[in-house]
Amino acid sequence: MTNGPLIVQSDKTLLLEVDHDQAEACRRAIAPFAELERAPEHVHTYRLTPLGLWNARAAGHDAEQVVDVLLEYSRYPVPHALLVDVADIMSRYGRLQLIQDPVHGLILHALDPAVLVEVVRSKRTAGLLGARIDATDVLVHPSERGHLKQVLLKLGWPAEDLAGYVNGEAHQIDLVQDGWHLRPYQQQAVDGFFHGGSGVVVLPCGAGKTLVGAGAMARSSTTTLILVTNTVSARQWRDELIKRTSLTEDEIGEYSGARKEVRPVTIATYQVLTTKRKGVYTHLELLDARDWGLVVYDEVHLLPAPIFRMTADLQARRRLGLTATLVREDGREDEVFSLIGPKRFDAPWKDIEAQGYIAPADCVEVRLTLPDADRMAYAVAEPEERYRLAATAKGKNRVVEQLVAKHEGDPTLVIGQYLDQLHTLAEHLNADLITGETTVHERQRLFDAFRSGEITKLVVSKVANFSIDLPEASVAIQVSGSFGSRQEEAQRLGRIMRPKGDGRTAHFYTVVARDTVDQDFAAHRQRFLAEQGYAYSIVDAEDLDPATEAELD
């Protein structure tokens, strides 16, 4: 028994003492298989879940490695029953395999015949499985490959998909590495993806997920369908591919609300694919418009539910998910695992920061106390109205003005959720505003002006959370968010984490109303970043006057 930083409990919770000298090494060691639940100041709570353990197993970690980590860092003896559970849970992944049989076609093959009997008898698999071949094999209709994987995961027997993929229509794509090369972790991500066949690459914002996509496309050299969050993102992908690969403008099509081009590489928005007319998804033919060899899902943690249903029918295509976080606020991480694939590569943010590929970041929560009148209005408000009242507290405007003044001249983003609040802030700061109502052309004009340094302040709504490349931004001030969204917090910090030419630190502020649900949601949002090793310091808004500014430095 050592005086380690970790307390392993029989209910599968792990308590990590943050101030212990081995805490950072322990956090990195448990990150591949444990999920952070709470991150207050001194003790962080992680949990072992089946999905986390299966993701670790798919990524090449075995139960022995997980057990060794728990034993190495635990302060007290690890409950034996928990160690047995970890081994049992991890052993469930891959006991069933989907394989392509030269005689029978797609079959579900069992390494354990009793497991096959169990799933064949389950009502959930009715209609998904065909005739039994023998004690270890049963036929699967190719169209049910995705649906079957979803069901097997829910039954607790996640199948390893070894059935391979169609090559798709060949289309030569080369990386044009003129003065640049894939970074080592980007190459590892491409290799990990191809070794596994399909799955998800997790990289911090600013770490070059688009280049991983380009690397995968060059390795595949097939027609490629890229699904993105919005039109601005689609055009950023197009520009980056033209710059980094042999592809020309004529080879890249945009399939969005504005254009309907189908070319060897087609970039489509989630929104257009999920548009319904008279109850029918009218653009689904895009999925069959070419013999796609690769489908890339940008920001896979945002995948809309209808795209999951479409993806269930695309299991014979290689699928690459790109994201900064596998956290989904709707709890559908298991769908990503089943239909896109397991996590194939995950680089901790702090590791990439240490290599100099993303900027170091200083995270500060600024808490302000509501005036008595506002506090009373909050107290008597209906629960559903309380967050808006706290998030849009007028006192936040003064705090934002002080923070902007403190960083005068630095490229600064002010980010929020509520349009009336953002209009007021833009007016007070004499800054341009970008919301969902801003045209794509105007958004691009303002983003270009920000990138060039023509303007140094932008007030943005949640449209700027995702897939917006603003490498010059070095300060972000968050005044309101999507309740307790951890993924949003990660994306917003990511907006300022592109490495700075002079090596300076990025600053991320979140302005929070004390003793309200705003404060509670802020704590929840910060969980993911705490898991990545980012600690928030907390300052009082009253201390933001020039005399005490040093407290923020």
Q: Are residues 103 and 75 in the same domain?
A: no
Is residue 137 in some structural domain? yes
Task: Encode pLDDT of 385-435 as tens digits.
Answer: 888 898 888 899 999 999 999 999 888 999 888 889 999 999 999 999 998
Residues 6+ apart with CB under 8 A from 193: 199, 201, 212, 216, 320, 344, 345
Global pTM? 0.79
CA dist 257 and 247 (Å) reads: 23
pLDDT (tens digit, 9 = 90+) per residue, 33-57? 998 777 666 888 889 999 999 999 9
Residues 383 and 449 both lie in one domain: yes
Shared domain for 213 and 252, answered yes or no, is: yes
Tell me whether residue 331 is in a domain: yes
Which of 352, 369, 401 is a domain's end point? 352
Residues 87 and 108 in one domain: no
Q: Are 132 and 113 in contact (CB under 8 A)?
A: no
Is residue 251, in this structure, part of any structural domain at all? yes
Q: What is the 3-state secondary structure (H, E, C) of 23-82?
A: HHHHHHHHCCCEEEEECCCCEEEEEECHHHHHHHHHCCCCHHHHHHHHHHHECCCCCHHH
Highest mean pLDDT among 260-264, 355-359, 384-388, 537-541: 260-264
- Look at residue 536 and tell me if it is in a domain: yes
C-alpha 332: how far from chain center: 12
Residue 227 lies in a domain: yes
The sign of the dihedral angle between the CA atoms of 214, 219, 224, 225 is negative
Residue by residue, DSSP assigns 473-491 as --EEEE---STT-HHHHHH
Q: How far apart are CA 33 and CA 46, in angstroms?
A: 10
| DSSP SS3 for 167 | coil
Q: 104 and 20 share a domain?
A: no
Those residues with Cβ within 8 angstroms of residue 58's Cβ, 6 or more apart along the chain or in another chain: 93, 160, 196, 199, 341, 342, 343, 344
SS3 of 332, please?
coil
Average pLDDT over residues 270-290: 78
- Could you tell me if residue 175 is inside a domain? no
Average pLDDT, the chain: 86
Q: What is the pLDDT of residue 467?
A: 52
Cβ atoms within 10 A of the Cβ of 27, count? 24
* Domain limit, last residue, from 52, 74, 92: 92
CATH of the domain at 415: 3.40.50.300
Residue 507 phi, psi (nearest 5): -125, 125
Residues 196 and 85 reside in one and the same domain? no
pLDDT at residue 466, rounded to an integer: 56
Q: Looking at the predicted structure, is the pLDDT value of residue 267 above 60? A: yes
Residue 228's SS3 state is: strand
Q: Which region among 197-211, 423-437, 531-545 has the lowest average model confidence (pLDDT)?
A: 531-545
Note whether 326 and 377 are same-domain residues: no
Its domain, for residue 83, covers 6-92
The CA distances from residue 262 to 37, 57, 287, 292, in Å, are 43, 38, 10, 11
Which is it for strands 536-540 and 412-415: parallel, antiparallel or unpaired?
unpaired
Q: Which helix (H) or strand (E) holds 333?
A: helix 333-335
Judge if 279 and 399 occupy the same domain. no
How many domains, the chain? 4
Residues 6+ apart with CB under 8 A from 102: none
Q: Based on the domain organization, do 244 and 382 belong to the same domain? A: no
- What's the CA gap between 43 and 322, in Å, rounded? 31
Distance CA 30, CA 26 (A): 6
Within 13 A of 530's CA, how many CA atoms are on the CB side? 25
Residue in the block written with tokens 């506002």: 374
Does residue 176 fall inside a structural domain?
Answer: no
Q: Are residues 334 and 367 in the same domain?
A: no
Q: Which of 477, 456, 464 is nearest to 410 (CA)?
A: 456
Q: Are strands 13-17 and 6-8 parallel, antiparallel or unpaired?
A: antiparallel
Same domain, 115 and 243: no
Q: Assess whether 399 and 534 both reside in one domain.
A: yes
pLDDT value at position 465? 58
CB-based burial label for 26 (10 Å; 0-12, 13-18, 19+): buried
Domain boundary residue, one of 336, 352, 368: 352
Burial of 139 (0-12, 13-18, 19+ CB in 10 A): middle
Other C-beta atoms within 10 Å of 2: how many?
Answer: 12
What is the per-residue pLDDT across 320-360, written as a single tens digit (0 to 9) for each?
999 877 767 667 788 888 888 888 988 777 778 778 888 78
Long-range contacts of residues 331-335, Cβ cutoff 8 Å, at least 24 apart: 332/305, 332/308, 333/51, 334/51, 334/150, 334/153, 334/154, 335/150, 335/303, 335/308
528 — pLDDT class (breaks 50, 70, 90): low
pLDDT average, residue stretch 513-531: 78
| Section 200-207 average pLDDT | 84
Give the integer Cα–Cα distance in Å for 43 and 93.
Answer: 31
pLDDT over 50 at 362, yes or no = yes
Determine the pLDDT at residue 180.
Answer: 87
What is the pLDDT at residue 553?
A: 39
What SS3 class is residue 133? strand
Using CA atoms, how far apart are residues 464 and 461, in angstroms rounded to an integer?
A: 6
| Residue 43: inside a domain | yes
